[in-house]
């Protein structure tokens, strides 16, 4: 019952995230969200400045060169999911390394499997 290995959980979870970001995103509601709507209604939306990255080809979750909206946002979604997973894992590797390099007591952290490398001095 359930997925027994962590690697299995990761695969299933990533696939689900990729389907959501790559396919379901194309069917998202396109009306302005709560903040944007309030800003428009109350008149402070015009204070918004152009984004520094607004001219990048992926701005606003779309691939500039692709005409089909759903495909465009879907590819941006896949890209974003992969980048977030990579960046997130990297950040948490760093956070974990910070914890262990301080000589933190490892009794609360999980025991090492054999082959687990010691952090670099």
Partner 1 sequence: MHIPDGFFEPGMAAAGAVVAAGGVAVCVARSRDSLGERQVPLAGLTAAFIFAVQMVNFPVAAGTSGHLFGGVLAAVLVGPWTGALCIAVVLMVQALFADGGLTALGLNIIDIGLITALGGYVVFAGLRSILGRKEQAIVAASAIAAFVSVLLAAAVFSLQYAIGGAGGASAGTVAASMMGVHTLIGIGEAIITALTVGAVIASRPDLVYGMGGAERRAPEVAGTGAVA
The answer to whether residue 118 forms part of the interface with partner 1 (CB under 8 A) is no
Give the C-alpha separation, 119 to 100, whole Å: 7
Least distance between partner 1 and beta carbon 67 (Å)? 19
Tokens encoding 47: 């204070």
The answer to whether residue 103 forms part of the interface with partner 1 (CB under 8 A) is no
Least distance between partner 1 and beta carbon 93 (Å)? 6
DSSP letter, residue 46: G
The answer to whether residue 37 forms part of the interface with partner 1 (CB under 8 A) is yes
Q: Residue 72: name the closest of 83, 82, 62 by CA.
A: 62
Residues 40-99 that bind partner 1 (CB under 8 A): 41-44, 46-49, 51-54, 56, 58-61, 73, 76-77, 80-93, 95-96, 98-99
Tokens encoding 61: 């979750």
Residues 6-35 that bind partner 1 (CB under 8 A): 6, 9-10, 13-14, 16-18, 20-21, 24-25, 27-35
40 SS3 class: helix
């Amino acid at each position: 019952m359930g997925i027994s290995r962590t690697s299995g959980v990761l695969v299933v979870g990533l696939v689900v995230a990729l389907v959501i970001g790559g396919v379901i995103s194309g069917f998202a509601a396109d009306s302005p969200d709560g903040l944007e709507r309030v800003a428009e209604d109350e008149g402070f939306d015009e204070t918004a400045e152009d984004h520094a990255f607004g001219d990048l080809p992926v701005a606003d979750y779309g691939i500039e060169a692709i005409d089909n909206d759903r495909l465009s946002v879907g590819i941006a979604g896949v890209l974003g999911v992969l980048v977030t997973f990579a960046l997130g894992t990297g950040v948490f590797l760093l956070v974990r390394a910070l914890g262990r390099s301080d000589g933190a007591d490892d009794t609360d952290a999980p025991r090492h499997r054999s082959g687990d490398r010691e952090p670099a001095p």
